[in-house]
Chains A and B, each alone.
Chain A
Amino acid sequence: MISITNASCVFRHASGREVRALDRISSTIGDGEFVCLLGRSGHGKSTLLRSLAGLNTLTAGEIAVDGRPVKGPGIDRGMVFQEDTVFPWMTVQANVEFGLLAQGIPAAERQGVAREWLDKVGLGRFGDSWPKELSGGMRKRVAIATAFAGGAPILLMDEPFGPLDYVTRRDLQNLLIDLWRSTGRTIIFVTHDIEEALVLAERALVLRAGRIVDDIRVDLTRPRDEEERASPRGIAISKTILGHLELEQHTPGAA
């Protein structure tokens, strides 16, 4: 279980201006949940996710995983970035093995686990390829396989499908749902796309000006196809989220 207690993060910009990216956030996220973090640009989604990953230090408050405070990155929390972080100088197979290598797992076992995950993301025959030989969508699959293969029970994803086209995005969303259901891992997924949240999430946390302004149970049945999303409940959730995202009086940082 993840517990976030009064988490605050203030950035001081070079201009001397202070930006309160996170403002006394408190929440808990249970094991196996699929949570989407929603919010407009600049309202603290990445800051919260990076704080969970241990890549960003809070200025006040605490984040704890199973009671242990987060002090830095750890193998209990994997991450998929928006940027292409697949190492171009390693083969696809070596990329997926990276986390296992870091954990000192012997070569034979590493190879087996990595192959398994490559199969699961549909890249079973691409282990020996260089990342440059793959499309952007395929490289995202590699990043997902790498994060899952590392074994972390909590996976953090920061707009991972942002730069992809609509169809590829839908494919990857379905893949992610399948992997989440078959592994039971906790997934915290940042997006600014309401539709993506409706397709993926069990729960939507809406951030605004560094605060959690809503915590919505996305209790739609799966699969979350067009019809399901257009059901009265689906529309109600969309409207609620949209209400939070819509034009407002004050914006903390950049718009």
Chain B
Amino acid sequence: MTDIDATRDAMPVADKATAPARPSPEIWWTLGGIALFFIVWTLGHLVIGRYLPPPWQVIAAAVTHFFDSRYFVGLGLPPGGYWPHLVSTTYTALLGCAVGAVIGTLTGLGSAHSNVIHQITRPIVAILGTVPILVAAPFFLIWFGVSENSKIILVAFYSAVVLHLYALRAVEHLHPSFAESASTLGAGPWMIFHRVSLPGSVPELFGGLRAALGAAWGLAAITELLGTDRGIGRVIITTWGVQDIASMMGGLLLLALIAVIADALLMLARRAATRWMPEGAL
């Protein structure tokens, strides 16, 4: 009966939805930033000399040794160039981050919901959260062996702490009347958890996921520097042994490339998962 009034109310929204998407100049700024990075790198090479190889040498190393390299085999690396190492490090970072994120999100949301869980996890997170993760890395190798597992556990450990804190904060930021409203509609604790707290936390959880994933690459590579049979860190430490800085940096460049792609995919996922959010709310 009052549909006409509602339509009038909706008019500005309709206008906004049909507004044509303007081509954004942002992409040019991004490309400019990338160009600037390579210029500074080249200048650095001119100043420092052969210990900082120029971009083209590093890119050449990354490309020539990408899929297959007798040179790498000669250094004692397994056959197959950078590729298997890149896969291994990526696997470690993604799996570790995913496992940690699930654990951290559950404990974080759990302690936001239940005072008992909160009291139990608080001292644990306070202690674990302050341990310098890089100093802890050698212990993980001692406890869990020089293997894929210890790398994954280290990354998962760090991600869990990060996501726990982000999830806890996300629920704190959620207005309590959402949960109250749900409870007056007959929702029990479980329904409030998975229909209110969890979706309401998604924007902040993506923030935490981004921070955790960003750190995961570095953490994975650093454990590999300490000793492992596979991974970009292994390539870097091995080529360091023969002072081949171009190949070391080639590994770093490839890892950075993967990290940037993963971050871009994560942001796409966030866009898809938070279409409900008012623009500019995060």
Contacts and interface: CB of A to CB of B under 8 A. Distances in A.
Answer yes or no: are A and B bound together in one complex.
Answer: yes
B26 interface: no
B205 to A, nearest CB: 12
Given A53-B184, A73-B183, A85-B181, A135 B276 contact: no
Given A83-B175, A99-B186, A135-B9, A121 B199 contact: no
B136 interface: no
Contacts of A75: 185-186
A98 B1 contact: no
Given A79-B181, A85-B177, A89-B202, A126 B275 contact: no
Interface string B244-282: 000000000000000000000000000000011110000
Given A74-B186, A88-B276, A130-B275, A123 B6 contact: yes
A101 B277 CA distance: 23
A93 to B, nearest CB: 13
A133 B13 contact: yes
B184 A78 contact: yes
B24 interface: no
Interface in A125-172: 125-126, 130-135, 137-138, 141, 146-147, 150, 156, 171
A141 B6 contact: yes
B178 interface: yes
B278 A125 contact: no
A175 B9 CA distance: 16
Residue from A89, A99, A150, A156 with most neighbouring chain B CB atoms (10 Å)? A89
A126 B199 CA distance: 21
B237 interface: no
Nearest to B12: A135
Interface in A1-60: 53-55
A133 B196 contact: no
Contact of B278 (A78, A102, A132): A132
Interface string B182-203: 1111111001000110011010
A124 B5 CA distance: 12
Contacts of A126: 6, 10
A89 B199 contact: yes
B187 A102 contact: yes
Q: Classify chain A: how many residues form its interface, as a range.
A: 35 or more
Contact of A83 (B177, B200, B202): B177
B6 A132 contact: no
Contacts of B184: 53-55, 73, 77-79, 156
B114 interface: no
A98 B276 contact: no
Judged by DSSP, the binding face of B is: helix
B3 A102 contact: no
Contacts of B17: 133
Nearest to B198: A89
A123 B6 CA distance: 7
Given A103-B186, A133-B13, A138-B9, A171 B181 contact: no
B278 A88 contact: yes
Nearest to B180: A55
Interface in A79-123: 79, 81, 83, 85, 87-90, 98-99, 101-103, 120-123
B175 A130 contact: no
B101 to A, nearest CB: 19
B251 to A, nearest CB: 41
A98 B187 contact: yes
Nearest to B183: A73
B195 A98 contact: yes
Contacts of B276: 88-90, 130-132
A222 B56 CA distance: 84
A138 B10 contact: yes
B2 interface: yes
A87 B276 CA distance: 10
A135 B181 CA distance: 20
Nearest to B192: A102
Contact of A133 (B10, B180, B186, B191): B10
A242 to B, nearest CB: 30
Interface string A236-252: 00000000000000000
Interface string B11-41: 0010001000000000000000000000000
Interface string A66-77: 000000111101
Contact of B185 (A88, A98, A133, A138): A98
7 contacts: A55-B183, A75-B185, A90-B195, A90-B199, A99-B185, A131-B276, A146-B185
Given A55-B183, A133-B10, 6 more contacts: A55-B184, A73-B186, A98-B195, A99-B186, A101-B191, A102-B187
- The 4 A-B residue pairs with the shortest CB-CB distance in the complex, in nearest-first order: A122-B2, A99-B185, A102-B186, A85-B181
